[in-house]
Amino acid sequence: METLDAFDRRFPDETTCRLALQAARWPDGVRCPQCGTDKVYALKSKPFYWLCKPCGNHRFSVISDTIFENTKKPLLIWFKVAYLMLIAKKGRSALEIHRTMYGDPFTADYHTTWYMCTRLRAAMRNQEWIKLMGDVEVDETYIGGSNKNRHASKKKAGKGTASKIPVIGAIARKGNVVCQMIENADTETLTKFVRKTVSGRVDLLATDEHSGYRYLKWAPYPHETIGHSQGEYVRGKVHTQTIESFWSLIKRGIMGNYHQVSKRYLPLYLAEFSFRFNNRKNPDIFSELLSRC
Ligand SMILES: [Zn+2]
């Protein structure tokens, strides 16, 4: 992404922001958010407002039915918050974003900044995905819990995971990641997730030896496992290192920025990290986010 200076030059005022949102929302022309028709009429007296005749002269604006609706914050502020989130590869807390925007955290209302961050993360959840292809790695992990538990889990595998939240993910080595919070890492959950997210025509499906993956070879995946318990980490193309680096990015991000995360917000952080990862080569990740707001 561009530097902050370049970003400020790209969006110097509210009108420029509205034009950018309009273009991202309706790349093929303005449509009524209620009925979807393009037979809408721009209000001459009010820029960025339209009327929809089929909806009984329903009036809507460029921010209607977006996350930007019902806040008193100008798009300029929203855009800056979104920019600060998108450039932080390791994540950035709402408090840190708030400080960057306003200086002292107690001179402006921090709750609004927190709310904006949460809404932006929710928008990042709106990714449509196609089933993963190529060489795919699937792995489960546990996120959250206190520092005490982290150390315990390092010493003794399996211990200290009680307060942690299980998460499953699949990553195409040259493509996208899909991950989600799960209730538990049992065979049914893992198998369902793989069937939902991974194409049956992959070249390779690599996992560790977790017994929950044992039915995948019947399913009909070219499934290979790597024997972590025997100290085996790479066997030719068979490894899970790509998804493991993604997990460590999330874990370091969450521990470093938020210290801990609850079940309620974990899906939003997963969405944020996945969105940044999946758009790592997208030269205009910002407009991509706008189109989902
Ligand atoms: Zn309509």
Residue range 40-95, pLDDT digits in tens? 999 999 999 999 999 999 999 999 999 999 888 999 999 999 999 999 988 899 99
3-state secondary structure of 209: coil
Q: For residue 55, report the distance from its CA to the centre of ligand 1, in Å.
A: 4
Average pLDDT over residues 280-284: 93
| Residues ≥6 apart with Cβ < 8 Å to 93 | 257, 258
Q: Ligand 1 centre and the CA of 76: distance in Å?
A: 28
Ligand 1 center from residue 27 Cα (angstroms): 18
Domain of residue 206 covers 135-261
**Confidence class for position 118, pLDDT limits 50, 70, 90:** very high
Q: What mean pLDDT is predicted for residues 191-200?
A: 94
Going from the Cα of 255 to the center of ligand 1, the distance in angstroms, rounded, reads 45
CA of 65 to the centre of ligand 1 (A): 13
Give the model's confidence band at 269: pLDDT under 50 very low, under 70 low, under 90 confident, else very high.
very high
User: What pLDDT is recorded for position 156?
Assistant: 44
**39 Cα to the center of ligand 1, angstroms:** 8
pLDDT of residue 230 exceeding 50? yes
Structure-token pair, residue 288: 């991509």
Is 208 domain-assigned?
A: yes
**How many angstroms does the Cα of residue 273 sit away from the middle of ligand 1?**
35
**Ligand 1 centroid to residue 57 C-alpha, Å:** 8
Q: Is the pLDDT of residue 270 over 60?
A: yes
Give the Å distance between the CA of 52 and the centre of ligand 1.
Answer: 5
CA 289 to ligand 1 centroid distance, Å: 24
* Sequence-distant (≥ 6) Cβ neighbours of residue 3 within 8 angstroms: none
Q: Is 181 within 8 Å of 263 (Cβ atoms)?
A: yes
pTM (2 decimals)?
0.88
Mean pLDDT, the chain, rounded, equals 89
Which residues are bridge partners to 171 per DSSP? 137, 177
Separation of CA 100 and ligand 1 centre (Å): 40
Looking at the domain assignment, is residue 126 inside a domain? no
Is the residue at 221 inside a domain?
A: yes
* pLDDT reported for residue 151: 47
E strand or H helix that includes residue 181:
strand 177-181
User: Cα(277)–Cα(273) distance, rounded to whole angstroms?
Assistant: 6
How confident is the model over 251-279, as a mean pLDDT?
88
CA distance 36 to 63: 15
| Helix segments in the chain, DSSP class H | 4-10, 14-25, 75-87, 94-102, 110-124, 147-155, 187-197, 241-253, 266-278, 285-290
Query: Cα(40) to centroid of ligand 1, in Å?
Result: 8
For residue 289, the model assigns a pLDDT of 96
Is 204 within the bounds of a domain? yes
The total number of residues shown for the chain amounts to 293
pLDDT (0 to 100) of residue 276: 95
pLDDT tens readout for residues 143-180:
986 544 444 444 444 444 457 899 999 999 999 999 99
pLDDT digits (tens, 9 = 90+) for 210-227: 899 988 877 789 999 998
Residue-wise pLDDT for 176-185, tens only, equals 999 999 998 9
Query: 97-101, 128-132, 150-154: which has the highest mean pLDDT?
Result: 97-101
Distance between CA atoms of residues 86 and 230, nearest Å: 39
Output the pLDDT for position 130: 87
CA angle in degrees (0–180, nearest 5) for 142-92-283: 100
Structural domain count, the chain: 1
63 belongs to a structural domain: no
Q: Is residue 21 part of a domain?
A: no
Is 250 inside any structural domain?
A: yes
Ligand 1 centroid vs 60 CA: distance in angstroms?
Answer: 9
- Distance from Cα 51 to the centre of ligand 1, integer Å: 8
pLDDT at 261: 82
pLDDT of residue 152: 45
- Lookup result for tokens 């950035």: 92
Q: Considering the domain boundaries, does residue 193 fall inside one?
A: yes
d(CA 267, CA 194): 18
- 62 C-alpha to center of ligand 1: Å? 14
pLDDT attached to residue 105: 64
Query: Cα of 123 to ligand 1 centre, how many Å?
Result: 23
- CATH number of the domain enclosing 175: 3.30.420.10
- Among the listed residues 170, 276, 283, the one whose alpha carbon sits nearest the alpha carbon of residue 216: 170
Residue 72's pLDDT is 85
